[in-house]
Amino acid sequence: MSEWFSVDDSIAACQQKSPLDALETRMLLSHVGELSRVQLITQSDRQLSAGQITALNNLVQKRVDGEPLAYLIGEREFFGLSFKVNPAVLIPRPDTELLVELALQHTPDKASLLDMGTGSGAIAISIAVQRHDLTIYACDISNDALEIAKFNADKLLKDRPSIAFYQSDWYQQIPPQRFNTIVSNPPYIVKDDEHLSQGDLRFEPINALTDHADGLSAYRKIIGDAPAYLAKDGWLLMEHGYHQSQDVQTLLRDRGFSEVQSWQDLAGIWRVTGGRWLA
């Protein structure tokens, strides 16, 4: 057997012995071969080294064993941007783009915004890329997550106004001040939800997925202290699970929020709930 294999041969060989679909195989090969997905097509006779083939086979096996593609290639696209990810951060989901859209709509010019539990920074950075006029803060309790978020901010914001990052257990380390908008995609999966032991979720940071309780404890904390951190007329907007909009609405109303409402994502699921602080 020769020591070199073409892109096409490698894909064919992988396809033959693994149940991965062609797109995923190509994405892994593109990562291993340091070739863009277009180059895989335009340079399909390009040769890969035996080392690269071994690396590809290892990644294919990991993927077959269930590891998320995003962790294997180290990136995931969100809101048209490529975010670095690793197992310290939740993999950004398309559903969460709704929260970004709503934050953009509800935040006035030259305002300030806080993203709580930023993870990879996907939400805060996507907003910052669109809106250079905003002052943006983001926090996470995990230092490992913040390292990824800062890397993504450096890469994607370059010379644009950056984001002030804080390692903080919710509001604890946030300097006292009032924000025009607060956003969050907190851990909201209920403790014993069977999904936690299935699929990609098995590989994601457990503390980003579940509150180890009824799925609502993060909302109680975020909503409970929000009045001390929201400017007058400011919005608090939060992503949640498909069955949680009524519970989150109730928490907001009980805390004295106005204009409480929920929004559906592209799949028709009630995905984001928010309220306005008029006091």
Nearer Cβ to ligand GLN (104/209): 209
First CA to last CA distance, the chain:
75
Nearer Cβ to ligand GLN (118/168): 118
- Sign of the Cα torsion 271, 186, 201, 75 reads positive
> Does residue 104 interact with ligand GLN by CB under 6 A?
no
The footprint of ligand GLN on this chain (CB under 6 A) covers a number of residues equal to: 9
- For helices 50-64 and 7-17, the axis angle rounded to 10 degrees is 30
Q: Which stretch binds ligand GLN (CB under 6 A): 22-30, 148-156, 180-188, 246-254?
A: 180-188
- The β-bridge relationship of strands 112-116 and 179-184 is parallel
Q: Is 118 annotated as a binding residue?
A: yes
Q: Is 186 annotated as a binding residue?
A: yes
Nearer Cβ to ligand GLN (2/197): 197
Nearer Cβ to ligand GLN (33/68): 68
DSSP H or E segment with residue 275: strand 270-277
Q: Is 188 annotated as a binding residue?
A: yes
Structure-derived torsion over alpha carbons of residues 180, 185, 187, 193, reported in degrees to the nearest 10: 140
Least CB distance to ligand GLN at residue 271 (A): 9
Residues numbered 181-210 forming contacts with ligand GLN, rule: CB under 6 A: 185-189, 201, 209
Place of tokens 């609405």: 249
Which string of DSSP letters, residue by residue, matches 221-263?
HHHHHGGGTEEEEEEEEEE--TT-HHHHHHHHHHTT-EEEEEE
Q: Annotated binding residues for substrate, as ranges?
A: 185-188
Q: Annotated binding residues, as ranges?
A: 117-121, 140, 170, 185-188
- The residues of the shown chain that bind ligand GLN, judged by CB under 6 A, are 90, 93, 185-189, 201, 209
